[in-house]
């Protein structure tokens, strides 16, 4: 049972979240909607071919962020259904591909609704929490700022405030609203996300759409596995295998020189020993790249901590996974996704500190990677984040990126899974 104190905290948090959502719904959705319309109008003139993919990437990041918050805050799951963009596509091809995706038009239809109805449904729970403060302030003397008691100087809701008596009525109304917020605010915040789901989630033919998306992500996974297999074969052929062949030849020469030229044999023996150590190191690196031993032995949390220790930038890791473990493919996907995001942060962000937070909440593994770099990270355009998105898509996962100019950058990943 939730105690009164816990319930009050839940209501306050919901009010603060509603206020933040109201600001983002109005400002963010309005800005992106205007940019989208202008960019689409400019497509026939050629300018839109360059700007549209960037603008739509921002729209998708905005929508994905809302999907993530819906799941984290209210348990409302909104599955993405974007068609993967071919890597390396020309601007014209990329723009056409995005515009042919039904999910793109769902996002664009959602923007104007979000900046109006979304703004209202987010503002109402915030108002229920914070508007009573005004009524209480009026009752405790704030009314004197607006009137000297001889005329109506302020309205609080439907109460005309003209003196101490009416100010007390305003305070009473504020108390009533505060009581209502105790029961209604979390539910009203959920209404905002249900409205979002009604617009962003695939409508008719949802099952067919999900099958299509999963088919494409599985194909990406197969292609990725084939490419990984070719890389392993190439690394073995050019690295450890070549060293082992050379070492075998050295051993054959040593055998022939052992009696005739012991000094030369000892020199070759030392070189063979060095070659064997280097081959062993290469094999260990190769195995670590396929499936790190620490991941198999100690789980995702310790594997990411070990990964963080190898980063050239100080990296803090917080892991609360409830003592359980996800399936091996899920852990592997999460590990390499985190690895790719950390590599991107080190190479491109200019950050001097990185934080990784891993939690298992509401049936999903959530990982956030935050850096204090210069910002400006986007999904698409052949960036490493596109590969991370495809990797997570194989498991019906979601990637959201928040990276304003000047930073900080937060990359959040969510993978539905069950811990054993």
- Mean pLDDT for 310-332 is 85
Rounded to an integer, what distance in angstroms lies between the CA atom of residue 117 and that of residue 26? 10
356, with CB counted inside 10 A (0-12, 13-18, 19+), is: buried
List the structure tokens of 234.
Answer: 């190439």
pLDDT at 211: 65
Cβ-Cβ contacts under 8 Å for 114 (sequence gap 6 or more): 25, 29, 66, 196, 199
Q: What is the pLDDT of residues 309-319, one digit of tens each?
A: 888 889 999 98
pLDDT at 88: 66
Cβ-Cβ contacts under 8 Å for 235 (sequence gap 6 or more): 282, 286
Mean pLDDT lowest among 67-71, 104-108, 171-175, 220-224: 220-224
pLDDT at 217: 60
Is pLDDT above 80 for 13? yes
pLDDT interval class at 106 (50, 70, 90): very high
- Mean pLDDT for 175-195 is 94
Q: What is the pLDDT of residues 37-77, one digit of tens each?
A: 999 999 888 898 889 999 998 999 999 899 989 988 988 88
pLDDT at 344: 86
pLDDT at 189: 95
Rounded to an integer, what distance in angstroms lies between the CA atom of residue 102 and that of residue 194? 20
326, with CB counted inside 10 A (0-12, 13-18, 19+), is: buried
Is pLDDT above 70 for 210? no
Number of Cβ within 10 Å of residue 235's Cβ equals 16
Q: End-to-end alpha-carbon separation of the chain, Å?
A: 26
pLDDT interval class at 178 (50, 70, 90): very high
pLDDT interval class at 383 (50, 70, 90): low
pLDDT at 386: 77
Q: pTM of the predicted model, to two decimals?
A: 0.60
Rounded to an integer, what distance in angstroms lies between the CA atom of residue 300 and that of residue 296? 8
Is pLDDT above 60 for 94? yes
- More confident: 141 or 391: 141
Q: What is the pLDDT of residues 222-234, one digit of tens each?
A: 555 555 566 656 6
Rounded to an integer, what distance in angstroms lies between the CA atom of residue 97 and that of residue 87? 12
Rounded to an integer, what distance in angstroms lies between the CA atom of residue 34 and that of residue 38? 6
């Amino acid at each position: 049972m939730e105690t009164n104190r816990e319930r009050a905290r839940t209501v306050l948090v919901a009010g603060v979240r509603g206020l933040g959502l109201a600001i983002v719904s109005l400002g963010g959705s309005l800005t992106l909607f205007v940019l989208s319309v202008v960019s689409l109008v400019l497509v026939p003139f050629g300018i839109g071919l360059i700007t549209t993919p960037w603008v739509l990437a921002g729209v998708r990041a905005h929508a994905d962020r809302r999907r993530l918050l819906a799941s984290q805050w209210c348990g409302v799951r909104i599955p993405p259904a974007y068609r993967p963009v071919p890597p390396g596509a020309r601007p014209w091809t990329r723009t056409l591909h995005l515009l042919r995706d039904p999910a793109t038009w769902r996002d664009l239809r959602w923007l104007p609704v979000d900046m109006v109805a979304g703004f209202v449904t987010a503002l109402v729970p915030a108002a229920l929490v914070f508007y009573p403060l005004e009524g209480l302030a009026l009752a405790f003397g704030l009314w004197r700022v607006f009137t000297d008691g001889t005329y109506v100087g302020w309205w609080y809701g439907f109460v005309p405030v003209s003196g101490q008596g009416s100010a007390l009525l305003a305070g009473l109304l504020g108390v009533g609203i505060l009581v209502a917020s105790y029961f209604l605010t979390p539910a009203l915040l959920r209404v905002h996300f249900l409205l979002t789901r009604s617009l962003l989630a695939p409508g008719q033919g949802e099952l067919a759409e999900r099958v299509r998306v999963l088919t494409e992500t599985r194909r990406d996974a197969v292609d990725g596995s084939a490419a990984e297999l070719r890389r392993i074969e190439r690394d073995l052929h050019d690295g450890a295998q070549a060293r082992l062949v050379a070492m075998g030849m050295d051993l054959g020469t040593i055998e022939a020189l052992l009696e005739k030229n012991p000094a030369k044999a000892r020199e070759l023996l030392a070189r063979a020993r060095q070659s064997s150590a280097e081959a062993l190191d290469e094999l260990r690196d190769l195995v670590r790249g396929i499936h790190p031993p620490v991941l198999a032995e100690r789980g995702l949390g310790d594997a990411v901590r070990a990964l963080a220790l190898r980063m050239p930038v100080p990296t803090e890791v917080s892991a609360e996974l409830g003592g359980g473990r996800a399936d091996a493919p899920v852990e592997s996907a999460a590990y390499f996704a985190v690895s790719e995001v950390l590599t991107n942060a080190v190479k491109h962000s200019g950050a001097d500190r990185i934080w990784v937070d891993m939690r298992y909440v509401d049936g999903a593994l959530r990982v956030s990677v935050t850096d204090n770099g210069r910002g400006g990270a986007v999904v698409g355009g052949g960036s490493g984040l596109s590969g991370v998105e495809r990797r997570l898509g194989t498991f019906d996962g979601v990637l959201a990126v928040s990276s304003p100019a000047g930073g900080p950058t937060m990359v959040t990943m969510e993978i539905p899974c069950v811990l054993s």
